[in-house]
Amino acid sequence: MTKSKIVVVFYSTYGTNHGIAVAAAEAAEAAGAEVRLRRIPETAPDAVVASQEAWKAQADRMADIDKISNEDLLWADGFYLSSPTRFGGMASQTRAWLDTLGGLWMAGSLAGKTITASATAQNRNGGTEGAIQQTYVSAMHFGMIPIAPGYTDPVKSEDGGNPYGFSAQPGELDETGRKSVAHQARRLVDLTTKLAK
Ligand SMILES: Cc1cc2nc3c(=O)[nH]c(=O)nc-3n(C[C@H](O)[C@H](O)[C@H](O)COP(=O)(O)O)c2cc1C
């Protein structure tokens, strides 16, 4: 069987979404997909990033991960996208990147590809559901197929229960978080592979 091609793409200021993306990429690979891990470009000026030690440290940690390109988008059959929440929506860096995809939208190049999303927020009820839903709404404009985890695995009753996608507060992923991300990534791979048949 042909391997499905998955791009795991993330934006992260302090590292949480980077950790989620790495866990998702590992799980997608273990599920049999060909995987590319990519980061969404920073839009804040270098001087602003450098002014915060934690922000600069994260920028350095992910410097060797390639920035997402249109070629990656054309290559992929499906996407796992992870982004922080900002004032109840996705981070502006994620939005700014989506806003560069008008050409692909116009050509219909992303139609029929799958997507699943995660989000983080400082507060448990700080807006992750909205951030993920916004991601799916934009994806639907491209004709993409959102693949939410729903409650398709018992881990969803342990991880905070966001049916739209894994959500977490800042910090390293705990074991339940890892299980949930892995379930979501596996489900993406399984359904993407079925659609490709
Ligand atoms: C400008 C700004 C706005 C934010 N807005 C929210 C928010 O609406 N709700 C919330 O709970 N956390 C909010 N946060 C906290 C971020 O969601 C948190 O830093 C992020 O999820 C951590 O992810 P990262 O480690 O991948 O950067 C905000 C942070 C910043 C810098």
Render pLDDT for 64-108 as a digit per residue (tens, 0 to 9): 999 999 999 999 999 999 999 999 999 999 999 999 999 999 999
95 lines ligand 1 (CB under 6 A): no
Evaluate if residue 1 carries a pLDDT over 70. Answer: no
Q: Closest Cα to residue 62, out of 97, 98, 17?
A: 17
Q: Whole-angstrom Cα distance, residue 19 to residue 29?
A: 16
Percent of the chain with pLDDT over 90: 98
Evaluate if residue 6 carries a pLDDT over 90. Answer: yes
Render pLDDT for 52-61 as a digit per residue (tens, 0 to 9): 999 999 999 9
Render pLDDT for 114-136 as a digit per residue (tens, 0 to 9): 999 999 999 999 999 999 999 99
Calculate helix-pair angle for 175-196, 16-30, nearest 10 degrees: 50
* Ligand 1 atom showing the smallest separation from residue 19 Cα: 26
What is the CA(122)–ligand 1 centre distance, in A?
5
- How many CB atoms lie under 10 A from the CB of residue 64? 7
Q: What pLDDT is stored for residue 2 in this prediction?
A: 82
Q: Is the pTM of this model over 0.85?
A: yes
Q: CATH number of the domain that 150 lies in? A: 3.40.50.360
- Per DSSP bridges, beta strands 114-120 and 145-146 are parallel
Contacts of 63 (CB under 8 A, 6+ apart): none
Render pLDDT for 144-166 as a digit per residue (tens, 0 to 9): 999 999 999 999 999 999 999 99
12 lines ligand 1 (CB under 6 A): yes
- Identify the burial level of 141 via C-beta atoms within 10 angstroms of its C-beta, where 0-12 means exposed, 13-18 middle and 19 or more buried: exposed
* Ligand 1 atom showing the smallest separation from residue 17 Cα: 26
* Mean pLDDT within 177-187: 98
The domain total for the chain is 1
Q: Please tell me whether residue 114 adopts helix, strand or coil conformation.
A: strand
Residue of 53, 85, 90, 134 to test ligand 1 pocket, by largest number of atoms within 8 Å of CB: 85
Q: Are 147 and 191 contacting, i.e. CB atoms less than 8 angstroms apart?
A: yes
Residues spanned by the domain of 151 = 5-196
What is the CA(18)–ligand 1 centre distance, in A?
14
Q: Whole-angstrom Cα distance, residue 26 to residue 94?
A: 22
Q: Are 10 and 21 contacting, i.e. CB atoms less than 8 angstroms apart?
A: yes
Q: Whole-angstrom Cα distance, residue 56 to residue 44?
A: 11
Q: What pLDDT is stored for residue 123 in this prediction?
A: 97
